[in-house]
Amino acid sequence: MHIPIDFAWLEATSLAGVRITAFLVLAPPFSHASIPMRIRAMLGVGLALAVAPAVTAGYVRQDTGGFLLSLAGQVVTGALLGFLVLVVFSAIQGAGHLVDTFGGFQLAQAYDPGMAINGAQFTRLFQMTAIVLLFASDGYQLVLGGLFRSFDAIGVTGAIDLRRPAEVLVGAIGQMMLSAVQIAGPLLIVLFLADAGLGLVTRVAPALNAFAMGFPIKIGLTLLLVAFVYAALPGAVAALTGSAVELLLGVVR
């Protein structure tokens, strides 16, 4: 029995699967440790089959050296795109870290192996909420759509120009820090005013020991007002999803 095998189709689909899998390893929400690597690999193969008609058109078989070089190029391309998405969504984690630091929760930090972050309560809570919102709002589909459009600009035999991602990464880090401050900004202002008020009380009545009073006051204010910051997370995740897609499209153009 003769079973014909289209090796050109197999090579192109394999290269697409490598790029997608490298992206899924780093990009949220798929980078969460609760998703096993074998599941990510299976998802990468499934998505590669979905984009196979687009990536196999006009593909010409390569020799062994050329195929291995293309394979390395796809790993780098997928990892860079996934890292850009990770940087964008780190703004949510950064906002939680600012709340923990200014609210007095930083002493209770611990390492979370699931999300691979080292933070206190609100850092982990905000990050977990962002992952849930990405799945619940179908934001992950927009991120994957941006990845799929990268195949139109960079074929499976090409490699990404490293100069463009480096420029975008610098801007993305600055935007991430700005977004973190914007998300947690209202609460940070209240906590800063509380610190300023306690400082004035210390000057007026040193015997009150305002420094010892500061911890319970700031913790109480944080627990009382953090709900307003938490309520703004759906809008923040939606905005960050749009920013991540724009970054992906801007890099591969």
pLDDT tens, residue by residue, 96-105:
888 888 877 7
15 and 157 Cβ atoms separated by less than 8 Å: yes
Q: Is residue 118 part of a domain?
A: yes
Q: How does pLDDT run across 176-196, given as a tens digit for each residue?
A: 888 888 888 888 888 888 878
Q: Is residue 38 part of a domain?
A: yes
Q: Is residue 168 part of a domain?
A: yes
Instruction: Tell me the CA distances in angstroms from 185 to 56, 118, 229, one per residue in order.
Output: 48, 22, 9
DSSP 60: -
127 and 93 Cβ atoms separated by less than 8 Å: yes
Highest mean pLDDT among 56-60, 77-81, 223-227, 242-246: 77-81
Q: How does pLDDT run across 120-159, given as a tens digit for each residue?
A: 778 888 888 888 888 888 888 888 888 888 888 787 877 7
Q: How many CB atoms lie within 10 A of CB 29?
A: 19
Quote the pLDDT of residue 3. 61
Domain coverage including residue 151: 7-252
106 and 120 Cβ atoms separated by less than 8 Å: yes
Of 53, 59, 46, 37, the closest CA to residue 17 belongs to: 46
C-alpha 129, offset from chain centre: 13
SS3 111: strand
Q: Is residue 83 part of a domain?
A: yes
Tokens of 197: 């008020």
Q: Is residue 52 part of a domain?
A: yes
Counted domains in the chain: 1
Quote the pLDDT of residue 21. 93
Q: Is residue 225 part of a domain?
A: yes
Alpha-carbon dihedral sign for residues 7, 8, 10, 14: positive
Q: Is residue 117 part of a domain?
A: yes
Q: Is residue 1 part of a domain?
A: no
115 pLDDT more than 70: no
The letter for the amino acid at 156 is V
Quote the pLDDT of residue 252. 64
